């Protein structure tokens, strides 16, 4: 395939990824408006936000299993249909059901996009996967920056129905671009590696992780019991295991497990960062949305020039450095005030920039026999992990801290704020907790509201401080992996030669 054709394919993949982040940030910006105009409860808003994540994992896994048969173009066309349908359904939505369906369609399209673009780029650049994965995934922050700027400058006077239609711009572009293209065969196919060998790379261990995450998320949506979730998971994994009769590549399974804290550090924090920084940014007279736009701009620039970093340091070494920087950045965000927030945000952005694409690059380099499946299951675990663990754990930490801090305030000041306003007893993946009942705050005095606001702001910063421990744990994992590869003679990419394996 000639260089000009590769450039056109890469640009199409890049704009496709831009579209996914357009949908992500536009939904995040307009969710509060949906609730106010269409009289949605907080629970309904949360369910709509959740359906923007978990269908991604279902879509990316299912497409990965068949994409070598149906072709990358088919997946991209499916994604275009999903993205356009989602925008139209959202525009005409008059309540919860249509918004839920529209967001579900968007998530399915996002999964189809990544199911296609990751293996396409890995096949075009087999000797520089980590470099080109970073450049490709610059499309995510580029989309966040562009859509965020558009939405902020349109202002509150422009309704959410118009803002959500912005996703049609990149949708039409990548949809039109993909039609005349001829996409390359996956390197697994060219090397003659069989379908069953691809499945064996994932094995029972990898299947258990992704299937459990998907089934337990579906169970949360449909109200299935823990027992039923477990039985369905074991049934699916058992059938898969009987077919493949392999545990999977141990290092690949370890990388899958690391994707959950990685996604929590990156996407989980991104989903909360605007809310967490609102009070501080308001004091500066700046829209809190600019924090996400600013950090995304840094990520976009650094990913586009990722090759310079990767040539000087190994992929695992890069992840060690990034983990340390991200931990420092999160801690500083929890301690900073005023303009220093931007300094802390800069450090955090430097840290999280290379996480996601470098992990995909390592999986692509070390497990090329896994083809589209190993690459895309890695992304699927990260995305659904961000939805189940990442965003939820930040909220859980805040609720626990508010509960604790308000109780301590009452003891120190002889007040009854905790008894009066901490009335909601809840259960989550992380355990039982008590939360503020915001419906009662409307009757609170100004002094009580100010006290509770102060407690909430402290809890938000405490949450960031606790989350800073997660990239420290990741750094330890990466150091152990570096030590393992050093014993094996050093980290290097595994290359497949055309027709090197002739399987039935």
Tokens of 271: 């989903």
215-243 residues labelled b (16+ CB within 10 A) or e (exposed): bbbebbeeebeeeebeebbeebbeebbee
Domain boundaries, the chain: 1-187, 249-491
Task: Determine the pLDDT at residue 499.
Answer: 47
Pick the CATH number of 1-187 from 1.20.1250.20, 1.10.290.10, 1.10.3720.10, 3.40.50.150: 1.20.1250.20
Task: For 194-242, write each residue's pLDDT tens digit.
Answer: 999 999 999 999 999 999 999 988 887 788 899 999 999 999 999 999 9
Which residue, among 117, 109, 114, 145, has the nearest Cα to 26 in the 3D structure? Answer: 145
Q: Are 402 and 408 in contact (CB under 8 A)?
A: no
Task: Determine the pLDDT at residue 429.
Answer: 66
Gyration radius (Cα) of the chain, Å: 23
List the pLDDT tens digit at each of the 504 positions of the chain. 567 888 999 999 999 999 999 988 888 778 777 877 887 765 677 678 778 877 888 899 999 999 989 999 999 999 999 999 999 999 999 888 999 999 999 999 999 999 999 999 999 998 889 889 999 999 999 999 999 888 878 877 788 899 999 999 999 999 999 999 999 888 888 888 999 999 999 999 999 999 999 998 888 778 889 999 999 999 999 999 999 999 999 999 999 999 999 988 887 676 666 665 666 677 777 777 777 788 889 999 999 887 777 777 889 999 999 999 999 998 988 887 777 888 888 998 899 999 999 999 999 999 999 999 999 999 999 888 877 776 667 777 777 888 887 888 778 887 777 777 776 677 666 677 777 776 777 777 778 778 887 787 777 778 888 889 999 999 999 999 999 999 998 888 888 874 444 443
DSSP 63-85: HHHHHHHH-HHHHHHHHHHHHHH
Q: What pTM did the predictor assign?
A: 0.86
Task: For 118-141, write each residue's pLDDT tens digit.
Answer: 999 999 998 889 889 999 999 999
Average pLDDT, rounded, for the chain: 86
Which residue, among 3, 10, 30, 145, has the nearest Cα to 91 in the 3D structure? Answer: 30
Task: Say if 1-187 and 249-491 have the same CATH topology.
Answer: yes
Task: For 293-352, write each residue's pLDDT tens digit.
Answer: 888 899 999 998 877 777 778 899 999 999 999 999 989 888 877 778 888 889 988 999
Task: Determine the pLDDT at residue 41.
Answer: 65
- Is it true that domain 249-491 has CATH number 2.40.30.70? no
Distance CA 135, CA 358 (A): 10
Could you tell me where the beta strands, DSSP code E, fall in 344-492? 422-428, 431-436
Contacts 24+ apart (CB under 8 A), 52-55: 52/23, 52/24, 52/27, 52/103, 52/106, 52/107, 53/107, 53/383, 53/384, 53/386, 53/387, 54/107, 54/214, 54/217, 54/218, 54/221, 54/384, 54/387, 54/388, 55/104, 55/107, 55/108, 55/111
Residues in the chain: 504
Task: Determine the pLDDT at residue 114.
Answer: 93
Tokens of 158: 């422009």
Task: Determine the pLDDT at residue 158.
Answer: 82
């Amino acid at each position: 395939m000639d260089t000009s054709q590769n450039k056109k394919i890469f640009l199409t993949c890049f704009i496709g990824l831009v579209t996914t982040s357009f949908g992500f940030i536009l939904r995040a910006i307009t969710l509060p408006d949906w609730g106010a105009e269409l009289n949605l409860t907080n629970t309904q808003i949360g369910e709509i936000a959740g359906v923007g994540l978990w269908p991604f994992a279902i879509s990316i896994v299912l497409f990965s299993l068949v994409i070598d048969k149906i072709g990358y173009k088919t997946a991209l066309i499916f994604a275009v249909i999903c993205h356009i349908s989602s925008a139209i359904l959202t525009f005409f939505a008059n309540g919860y059901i249509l918004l839920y369906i529209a967001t579900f369609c968007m998530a399915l399209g996002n999964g189809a996009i990544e199911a296609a673009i990751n293996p396409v780029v890995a096949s075009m650049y087999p000797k520089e996967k980590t470099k080109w994965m970073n450049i490709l995934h610059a499309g995510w922050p580029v989309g966040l920056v562009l859509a965020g700027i558009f939405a902020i400058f349109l202002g509150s006077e422009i309704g959410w129905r118009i803002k959500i239609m912005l996703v049609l711009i990149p949708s039409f572009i990548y949809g039109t671009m993909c039609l005349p293209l001829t996409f390359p065969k996956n390197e697994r196919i060219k090397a003659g590696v069989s379908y069953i060998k691809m499945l064996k790379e994932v094995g029972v261990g990898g299947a258990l992780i992704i299937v459990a995450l998907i089934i337990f998320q579906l169970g949360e949506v449909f109200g299935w019991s823990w027992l039923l979730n477990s039985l369905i998971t074991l049934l699916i994994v058992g059938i898969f295991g009987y077919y493949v009769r392999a545990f999977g590549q141990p290092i690949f399974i370890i990388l899958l497990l690391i994707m959950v804290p990685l996604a929590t550090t990156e996407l989980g924090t991104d989903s909360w960062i605007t809310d967490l920084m609102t009070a501080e940014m308001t004091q500066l007279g700046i829209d809190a949305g600019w924090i996400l736009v600013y950090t995304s701009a840094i990520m976009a620039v650094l990913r586009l020039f990722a090759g310079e970093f990767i040539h000087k340091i190994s992929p695992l070494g890069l992840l060690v450095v990034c983990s340390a920087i991200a931990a420092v950045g999160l801690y500083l965000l929890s301690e900073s005030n005023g303009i220093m927030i931007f300094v802390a945000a800069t450090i955090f952005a430097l840290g999280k920039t290379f996480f996601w694409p470098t992990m995909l690059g390592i999986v692509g380099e070390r497990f090329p026999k896994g083809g589209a499946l190993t690459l895309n299951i890695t992304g699927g675990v990260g995305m659904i992990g961000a939805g189940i663990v990442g965003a939820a754990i930040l909220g859980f930490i805040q609720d626990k801290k508010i509960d604790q801090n308000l109780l301590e305030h009452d003891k120190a000041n002889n007040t009854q704020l905790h008894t009066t306003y901490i009335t909601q007893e809840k259960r989550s993946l992380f355990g039982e907790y008590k939360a503020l009942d915001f419906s009662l705050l409307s009757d609170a005095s100004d002094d009580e509201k100010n006290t509770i606001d102060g407690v909430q702001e402290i809890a938000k910063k405490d949450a960031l401080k606790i989350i800073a421990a997660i990239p420290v744990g990741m750094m330890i994992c990466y150091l152990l992996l570096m030590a393992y590869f050093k014993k094996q003679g050093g980290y290097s990419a595994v290359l497949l030669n055309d027709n090197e394996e002739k399987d039935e």
